[in-house]
Amino acid sequence: MHIKRYTIASFILIVLTGWYVYAFITQESMGFNFFGTMLPSISIAMWVTIPLVIFYLVSVMHMSFYSLLETIRLRKSEKDYEKIIDAIVDAYLGKENRSNIFKTDKYKLLGSLVDNSMIFPSVDFSANIDNKKISDVLSAINSIKNGDVVDLKKYSLPSSNALFVHNEKNRYKQGNISAEDILGAKNKYDISLRKEAYGDFVKKAPLHAIEKYKDLLTKEALSEILARINADTNTLEISNESLIPLFNDLKLTSGEYIEASKKLSKSMLPEQRIKLFEILGNEDEAAMEAYLFTLFDLEMLSPAKEILDVSQSDEYPRFKAYSSLRESGKHFNINLFV
Tell whether 31 is covered by a domain.
no
Please indicate, yes or no, if residue 288 is contained in any of the structural domains.
yes
Which domain, by its residues, includes 310?
251-338
User: Quick one: which H or E segment has residue 30?
Assistant: strand 29-30
The answer as to whether 197 is a domain residue is: no
Of all residues in the chain, the percent with pLDDT exceeding 90 is 40
Residue 329 lies in a domain: yes
Q: What is the DSSP string of 81-144?
A: HHHHHHHHHHHHHT-SS------SHHHHHHHHHHHT----PPTTGGGG---HHHHHHHHHHHHH
Across 230-255, average pLDDT: 91
**In the chain, % of residues over pLDDT 70:** 96
pLDDT tens figures, 76-109 = 888 888 989 989 898 989 888 888 888 888 888 8
Going by pLDDT thresholds of 50, 70 and 90, the confidence category of residue 186 is confident
Supply the pTM of this predicted model: 0.70
Number of separate domains in the chain: 1
Question: Does residue 269 register a pLDDT over 60?
Answer: yes
pLDDT recorded at residue 73: 83
pLDDT for res 291: 94
Query: Is a pLDDT exceeding 60 seen at residue 1?
Result: no
Q: Is residue 170 part of a domain?
A: no
Residue 125 has pLDDT above 70, yes or no: no
**Residue 287 domain flag:** yes
Average pLDDT, the chain: 88
pLDDT at 30 over 60: yes
In degrees rounded to 5, what are phi and psi of residue 37? -110, 125
179 in any annotated domain: no
Distance (Å) of CA 140 to CA 93, 120, 134, 205: 10, 13, 10, 34
Spell 100-121 as b/e; 16+ CB within 10 A means b: bebebeebeeebeebbeeeeeb
